[in-house]
Structure 1
Amino acid sequence: MAEGGTAPPPQVFVVDTQASYISTPRDKKSSWARAGQKILFLLLGLLVLGVLVEGYLIYILYQRTASFSHCGSNMPCRNLTHTLGSENQDGRTSSQRQTKESNEIPPHVTKKRPFAHLLGSEHPVGDNNVVLWNSLAQHDSVNIEYNNGRLIIKEEGHYYVYSRVELDVSKDTTPIFHKIMKTSSGYGKEIELLKATSHCVHKNPANCAAEDIRSSFLAGIFHLQEDDKIFVTLSNVEKLHRSANGNSLGAFMIEP
């Protein structure tokens, strides 16, 4: 206690136990910084990977261009390089290629298809109105034979069959029937394939020319089997004009 005066009052401190605790907010800037660093590292890694891939592709391109630069203008060398590159891509070796090529038929090698072409004969009259032909004019006898006015098919397939005749229709108005016939081992009778009619157009035979020659042509595609026989008949063979170049019978295979 001081002399001559009163002592100051004592200080009193009160502690409030009911006061609420106020938390200090975290620093948001530091979390965003860490996320930005991660994204930056990721982009940097992708950049490095892209550089490595680009370098590898450039190396492959350099190797290929180097092989062509060694060939220069030598075309066989360029072809060999291209062949080797193709083999590496499809995984086949040269021996495998040679085996495959040896088993293939060259495109220019084709099988000769059967055909025949007969011209008119000086003695065309045969039995049962069958026209006879000059067998010496037959172009090909392989797989197609000729016998007694008939073409005998020896190989099954689709054939183009044709016949042309020149007929003297003067002084006769009776129609002359020109037919291409077929006989087959599977049938017991003759089969008519094609038919045409020729005659003088005038009702009065006196009005017909002294020598009125008419041409008749028949043609069609038929499926013929082995041993089928093709022949021509005329209702009046005597009216056939004796012309070697004007009369013909032929057939050739168009598809097996």
Structure 2
Amino acid sequence: MRGSAGPAGTAETGVTYAPAGVEDGQAGHPIRCSSKGPAARWLPFLLVCLVLCSIAGLIFYLCTPGTVLSDLGGMEKSHQDGTEIPPTTKKISVIKPRKPIAHLTGWDPPRSDGILLWDSVYRNAFMQDLDYKEGGLVVQKEGYYYVYSKVYFTEPRCSMFRHTVLWRTPRITSDLKLMESKRFHCQVSRQQRELMNSYLGGVFHLYNGDTLLVRAKNHTLIIDQSSYDNFFGAYMI
């Protein structure tokens, strides 16, 4: 036995009837409410999975070693004629040191007292918070410095060669020796001159206004062929 129809033509069984007056010949037949299908229910879940997979792929691409996001120097092929396009020239920024440092190279004709003169601008030379004056490095900031010097020289048949790093300070009237190497050599037979190196290096506490110099006895024996043969420098530690 059917239940009585409720308001708006809806039976208690939950079946909806078409209102009277429908002209398609379906009047009085029940029309059931359709629910969402399986595909509609899974669609939001699939969209979320797609977004998460895209984010994971991007993170993997960025973290992979060797990944380059911009062309830093490779040659690109033109899609039109196949010719190589040179890479875009980019300005290279130089990081300035945080502490005083200087590296002097080469040497000009020395002074009569054996003080060696250096190049402070060219031939791989550079300075930061140190000054160069008449062959000497002038300290601008008190602290501990590693001081070094190397010379390349030749030995004749008999000679005495001295390589010295001097410390000149306003507190003392005369120059003090910080480091020195000596070599006396006398060949018995007449052979070709030998080529030698002398390297000095050490840590010293220096004050503002102190000057470091390099002196060589028999400086005419020094050979200057390139910027890495003879050099002189210091840096704060």
**Match in the other structure for 1:251:** 234
Mapped contact 1:124–1:237 kept (Cα < 8 A) = no
The 8 Å contact of residues 169 and 198 in structure 1, kept in 2 or not, is answered as no
Structure 1 unpaired stretches of 5+: 1-109
The structure-2 alpha-carbon separation of the partners of 1:112 and 1:239, relative to structure 1 and needing over 3 Å to count, comes to same
Match of 1:112 in 2: 98
Q: 2:174 aligns with which of 189, 196, 199?
A: 189
Tell me by how many angstroms 1:119 deviates.
Answer: 0.7
After TM superposition, the structure 1 = structure 2 runs for residues 165-244 of structure 1, keeping only pairs within 5 Å, are 165-171=151-157, 173-200=158-185, 202=187, 204=188, 206-207=189-190, 209-244=191-226
Partners of 2:230 and 2:136 in 1: CA distance: 15
Gaps spanning 5+ residues in structure 2: where? 1-95
Matches within 5 A, 1:19-98: none
> In the alignment, residue 128 of structure 1 is paired with which amino acid?
D
Q: Equivalents in 2 of 1:231, 1:198: separation in Å?
A: 20
- Residue 148 of structure 2 corresponds to 162
Q: Which residue of 2 aligns with 1:135?
A: 120
Check whether the contact 1:161–1:219 (CA below 8 A) recurs between aligned residues. yes
Which has a greater percent of helix?
1
Letter in 2 for 1:143: D
User: Do 2:120 and 2:126's aligned partners in 1 also have CA atoms closer than 8 Å?
Assistant: no
| Count of residues in correspondence between the two structures | 142
Structure-2 change in CA distance of 1:120 and 1:111 (3 Å): closer
Structure 1: how far apart are the matches of 2:210 and 2:129? 12
Q: CA RMSD in A?
A: 2.2
The alignment partner of 2:99 has SS state of coil
Give the TM-score, by structure 2 length: 0.55
With over 3 angstroms needed to count, the CA separation of the structure-2 counterparts of 1:127 and 1:227, relative to structure 1, is farther
More strand by share: 2
Aligned residue in 1 for 2:136: 150
Q: Are 2:97 and 2:128, in contact at CA under 8 Å, matched by a contact in 1?
A: no
Identical pairs, percent: 26
Structure-1 separation of matches of 2:236 and 2:177: 20
**TM-score when normalising by structure 1:** 0.51
State the secondary structure of the residue aligned to 1:174.
strand
Larger radius of gyration: 1
Structure 2 counterpart of 1:158, which letter?
Y
* Residues 187 and 194 (structure 1), Cα distance of their counterparts in 2 relative to 1, 3 Å cut: same
